[in-house]
Each structure stands twice: as C-alpha cells, then as structure tokens.
C-alpha cells in the first residue's frame, strides 16, 4: 500500500513518530473492542475498553495539537472518541438492543439505544448528535467546524460502504492537517490526507484478534504520517 501513496520528503519514522502512531492506533483498536464487547453484552469489558479508547485519543490529540492547552486537546480527543462510540451505536442498533435483555448500566451507551426511532442507518436522527459532539471537539482546538460536518459524512458513508467516502475523508482531513501544520503547502496537505485514508482502509482489514498484529499492519503508514508532521513543524 505504501507504494501507492504519494512520496513525502520525510525522514524515516522516529521512535517519537512510531509512539504517536501506536497511541492513535491502539485508541481505534479499543474502540473496536468496545463495539465487540457490547455486541456480546459484556458491559464491564466494554466500559474498560471505552475508557482506554478515550485516554489514547486524548493523548493522540495532545500530540497533534501541541500549541493548544493540554486540557483542551485532551477534551477534544475524548469528544472525538465519544462521537465514534455514538456512530457505533447507530450502526449496531439491532445488535445492541439485545443487551436490554439484561440490566444495562446507565453509563454504557452514549445515546438512548432502546428509544431511538426504528429507521435505516442513514436516516437515524442521532447523526445530528454525532456532528454536534464533533463540533464540540473542534471548538476545543479552534478547528474549522466544517471538519466535523465532512468527517461525520465520511463516517456515515464509510459505514454503509457507499461510494465516495474516500473523497469526503480526504476533504475532511485536509482541514485538520492544514490546522496542525499551517506552513504545509496544499500538495503536502493532500498527500497527508491520502495517508489518513490509506490508514482507514487498512483498519477495515483488522480482525480484532491480536492488537499488536493489527497495529503493526498499519504502523509504517501512520508513523510516516506523523514523522512528516513533526518534520514540517521543525522546519
């Protein structure tokens, strides 16, 4: 997959870049674990995975937005992850409803899973909640709220395997990259957005059986992405 990505004028991924990549990727893996545990109505395991996912994304956002107060970037990362949790609740509504055959703790779901209208995934009214959470995340780090709108559109299309999600994902991520490294030219910004899409594609292949294997499968792509950001900041 690296051969298909645009070349970047970047040094080999440093330990710092690889650590940043692993932090981000483990956050996404724990998000997947929350989804899996909820599918099995394993509430304690789901709660533990959710807490870990939020903490990893908080650390990732602190790395990505070092000029923001740490409390703000941390909050932004946790909100971003909570938006992902809600997306999972929309896409897995029928499966998660089975959990209500048990006593469901109040803190397990972000939304009212049982009370949500019985509509198609695309027509679920909770997508507006996802976008509002994402806009709150953007507000913490002074990121253009258009990122939230486009990123939620990407999630919505990607989850339903609709054509065009890659293009929307690139548009969204260009906004984020331009904010992280304002000195980057348009070509570099788009190249890094393409690395993000490549990482998302590789994530789709995870089977959720071995965290280190899954992380390693995409570590070079994401490590190169972070190294490019660090190099640009150091210029």
Residue ranges covered by each domain of the chain: 13-234
Average pLDDT over residues 47-54: 98
Average pLDDT over residues 36-53: 98
Better-predicted residue by pLDDT, 194 or 162: 194
Give 39's DSSP letter: H
In whole angstroms, give the CA distance from residue 10 to residue 106. Answer: 47
Nearest partner of 85 among 109, 62, 118, 114, judged by Cα: 109
Which residues does 36 contact at the CB level (< 8 Å), separation at least 6? 208
3-state secondary structure of 105: coil
pLDDT at position 143 over 90: yes
* 192 close to 184: Cβ distance less than 8 angstroms: yes
Average pLDDT over residues 10-21: 96
Q: What is the pLDDT of residue 111?
A: 97
Q: Full-prediction pTM beyond 0.85?
A: yes
Chain-wide mean pLDDT for the chain?
A: 96
What confidence tier does 159 reach under pLDDT thresholds 50, 70, 90? confident
The 10s digit of each residue's pLDDT in 198-218 is 999 999 999 999 999 999 999
Q: What is the pLDDT of residue 109?
A: 98
pLDDT at position 1 over 70: no
pLDDT at position 47 over 80: yes
Better-predicted residue by pLDDT, 161 or 18: 18
Burial of residue 187 (number of CB atoms within 10 Å: 0-12, 13-18, 19+): exposed
Better-predicted residue by pLDDT, 235 or 173: 173
pLDDT at position 40 over 80: yes
- Rg of the Cα atoms in the chain: 17
In whole angstroms, give the CA distance from residue 166 to residue 156. Answer: 12
Q: What is the pLDDT of residue 235?
A: 79
Average pLDDT over residues 38-52: 98
What confidence tier does 2 reach under pLDDT thresholds 50, 70, 90? low
3-state secondary structure of 128: helix
CA 90, 94, 96: angle at the middle one, nearest 5? 75
Give 209's DSSP letter: S
Average pLDDT over residues 126-147: 98
Better-predicted residue by pLDDT, 151 or 117: 151
pLDDT at position 66 over 90: yes
The 10s digit of each residue's pLDDT in 160-190 is 888 999 999 999 999 999 999 999 999 999 9
Q: What is the pLDDT of residue 3?
A: 53
């Amino acid at each position: 997959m690296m051969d298909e990505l645009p070349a970047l004028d970047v040094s080999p991924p440093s330990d710092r870049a690889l650590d940043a990549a692993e932090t981000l990727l483990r956050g996404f893996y724990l998000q997947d674990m929350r989804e899996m545990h909820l599918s099995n109505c394993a509430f304690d395991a789901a709660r533990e995975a959710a807490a870990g996912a939020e903490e990893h994304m908080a650390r990732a956002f602190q790395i990505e937005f070092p000029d923001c107060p740490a409390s703000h970037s941390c909050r932004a990362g946790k909100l971003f992850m909570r938006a992902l949790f809600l997306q999972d609740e929309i896409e897995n509504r029928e499966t998660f409803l089975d959990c209500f055959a048990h006593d469901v703790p109040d803190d397990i779901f972000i939304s009212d899973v049982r009370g949500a209208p019985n509509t198609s995934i695309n027509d679920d009214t909770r997508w507006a909640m996802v976008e509002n959470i994402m806009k709150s995340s953007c507000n913490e780090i002074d990121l253009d709220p258009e990122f939230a709108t486009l990123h939620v559109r990407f999630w919505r299309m990607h989850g339903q395997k609709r054509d065009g999600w890659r293009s929307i994902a690139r548009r969204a991520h260009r906004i984020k990259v331009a904010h992280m490294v304002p000195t980057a030219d348009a070509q570099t910004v788009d190249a890094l957005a393409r690395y993000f899409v490549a990482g998302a594609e590789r994530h789709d292949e995870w089977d959720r059986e071995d965290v280190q294997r899954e992380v390693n499968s995409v570590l070079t792509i994401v490590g190169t992405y972070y190294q490019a950001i660090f190099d640009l900041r150091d210029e």
